[in-house]
Amino acid sequence: MYNDNPRVFSMFNGEPTVCVVGLGYIGLPTAAVMASRGWRVFGVDINPGIVEKVAAGKVHIVEPDLDDLVQKVVSLGRLRATTQPVSADVFVITVPTPLAASKQPDCGFVVSAIRSIAPKLRPGNLVILESTCPVGTTAEMSELIADMRPDLCLPSRSGAAANIHIAYCPERVLPGRILLELQENDRSIGGISERCAERAVEFYKTFVKGECIGTTAEVAELVKLSENSFRDLNIAFANELSLICDRIGIDVWEVIELANHHPRVKILKPGPGVGGHCIAVDPWFLVHSAPDLSPLIRTAREVNDGKADFIYQKAHRLLEADGNESVACLGLTFKANIDDLRESPSLEIAERLAGKFGKRVSIVEPNIAQLPAALTDTGARKVTLEEALASCGILLLLVDHDEFKKVSREELADKTIIDTRGIWKSPTSSASMGHQSNVRHFRMASTVGSAAG
């Protein structure tokens, strides 16, 4: 039923096992997919609450179809959750690599994960790091294992004679499409040695339909950082353009729409800033590795972070101008239709407004049950969309959740709107994406033009 790649599975004695360390946004879906593709999977997390939930076949994150898959593989006994690593054929590390306050990468969780699995390693094991890391981390982890387990032969010291293989394979799945992209996307798979890469490619081929491309660990590490920095730079361009449009009173959404008719132009969308644990973080890893050579990457980060402040100032001015008015912050998550608040510019803006204006701030966030701690003592309240529309004169649209797209023109008629995502723009709207433009757009049947009106 499961085993559709017998050649790989036959490399292992008995039933092939994987130990996935870190059951977060990447680890849990990865563990579940592998469990549905022939592997017996042990999912490890230091958080007993997460382990308890997964062991009961439940999920602790919002991701389409993940709940059904986890429920299925747990009930079949293919996925088990535990707080301690166990012996396995393959170890996959999917723990976070946060930014320290100094904007330097903090690989503490990776080091802890490696330390926790080292005592369990046996000759023949394959160890794969998926966490985003600075270049050179995989080789350092190989050295760490070599120090902890002198009885084993690690590729960083023993080359072709190694009996433990180590590789780096960054994830590149998009939250909201994780289960699909985990299987469909191509993967860059970097080994400490050629043999390490070969073995890791064989492993990924058991559950990835996309192309699995072998390379060195250092190249794969840099590929990951380059991908997310590329996207950050392109979003920064859109955000910078939005500031210029705001200054000169032009609708940025129309500019982008028309520019994107050029066959070689694809401008991304402005927003309230860039969030999430990846794009808002990873470019700093590159800056950190060569600060004198990365002014563009650093500036993109600063432009994207600065956009949140720009939106905050805009809302702040409106609330200062009318002491009786209240604002509804629509959305807290870092992007649409997920529950992830990590590095969210929307949360940052809401927190700053709530800190200053307290109970004049209402929050609508359909994807979380309760407000995060930083908002609870400010006086700000979590309300439904209907309540917000009935009671708030200012609507600050921060996240383009599906629920917000359904709000009708009539419901917005007498509101002051700051629409950071451009979902409510209309021919007569005077405020799109946070820019209260006085430009009206006239769209004609065969051509699209604009004129001040």
Considering only residues 235, 256, 300, 385, which one is a binding residue for ligand SAJ as defined by CB under 6 A? 235
DSSP states of 201-224: HHHHTTT--S-EEEEEHHHHHHHH
Considering only residues 334, 357, 404, 424, which one is a binding residue for ligand SAJ as defined by CB under 6 A? 334
Closest CA to 251 of 447, 434, 411, 444: 434
Query: Is 78 an interacting residue with respect to ligand SAJ (CB under 6 A)?
Result: no
Closest CA to 338 of 59, 47, 50: 59
Query: Is 227 an interacting residue with respect to ligand SAJ (CB under 6 A)?
Result: yes
Beta-carbon contacts of residue 119 (< 8 Å; ≥ 6 apart): 148, 149
Beta-carbon contacts of residue 22 (< 8 Å; ≥ 6 apart): 44, 45, 93, 94, 95, 96, 109, 113, 131
Q: Nearest distance from residue 189's CB to ligand SAJ, in Å? A: 15
Query: Is 331 an interacting residue with respect to ligand SAJ (CB under 6 A)?
Result: no
Q: How far apart are the first and last CA of the chain?
A: 66
Query: Is 279 an interacting residue with respect to ligand SAJ (CB under 6 A)?
Result: yes
Query: Is 309 an interacting residue with respect to ligand SAJ (CB under 6 A)?
Result: no
Using the contact rule CB under 6 A, the part of the chain among 65-73, 79-87, 228-236, 422-430 near ligand SAJ is 228-236
Considering only residues 149, 269, 316, 382, which one is a binding residue for ligand SAJ as defined by CB under 6 A? 269
Catalytic residue among 19, 107, 133, 278: 278
Residue 67: how many CA atoms within 13 Å on its side-chain side? Answer: 6
Q: Nearest distance from residue 250's CB to ligand SAJ, in Å? A: 19
Using the contact rule CB under 6 A, the part of the chain among 90-98, 122-130, 170-178, 314-322 near ligand SAJ is 170-178
Q: Nearest distance from residue 440's CB to ligand SAJ, in Å? A: 25
CA distance 60 to 67: 9
- Residue 88 or 278: the one with the smaller Cβ distance to ligand SAJ is 278
| In the block, residue with structure tokens 């609507």 | 395
Which residue's Cβ lies closest to ligand SAJ?
278
Using the contact rule CB under 6 A, the part of the chain among 110-118, 159-167, 206-214, 264-272 near ligand SAJ is 264-272
Could you tell me the CA-to-CA distances from 86 to 79, 121, 129, 169, 285 in Å, in that order? 13, 9, 17, 21, 31
Cβ atoms 329, 323 nearer than 8 A:
no
Active site residue 278: yes
Residue 25: how many CA atoms within 13 Å on its side-chain side? Answer: 21
Query: Is 335 an interacting residue with respect to ligand SAJ (CB under 6 A)?
Result: yes
In the region spanning residues 174 to 193, those forming contacts with ligand SAJ, defined by CB under 6 A, are 174-175
Query: Is 401 an interacting residue with respect to ligand SAJ (CB under 6 A)?
Result: no
| Pairing status of strand 17-21 against strand 40-44 | parallel
- Residue 146 or 212: the one with the smaller Cβ distance to ligand SAJ is 212
- Residue 85 or 276: the one with the smaller Cβ distance to ligand SAJ is 276
| In the block, residue with structure tokens 């064989």 | 202
Q: Nearest distance from residue 25's CB to ligand SAJ, in Å? A: 8
Closest CA to 428 of 437, 440, 417: 440
Considering only residues 36, 193, 228, 378, which one is a binding residue for ligand SAJ as defined by CB under 6 A? 228
Q: In angstroms, how far is CA 201 from the centroid of its own chain?
A: 24
For residue 437, give the amino acid letter. Answer: S
Query: Is 172 an interacting residue with respect to ligand SAJ (CB under 6 A)?
Result: yes
Query: Is 278 an interacting residue with respect to ligand SAJ (CB under 6 A)?
Result: yes
Query: Is 271 an interacting residue with respect to ligand SAJ (CB under 6 A)?
Result: yes
Catalytic residue among 19, 53, 169, 224: 224
How many other CB atoms are found less than 10 A from the CB of residue 9?
Answer: 17
Catalytic residues: 224, 278
- Which residues are near ligand SAJ by CB under 6 A? 171-175, 227-228, 231, 235, 268-269, 271, 274-276, 278-279, 334-335
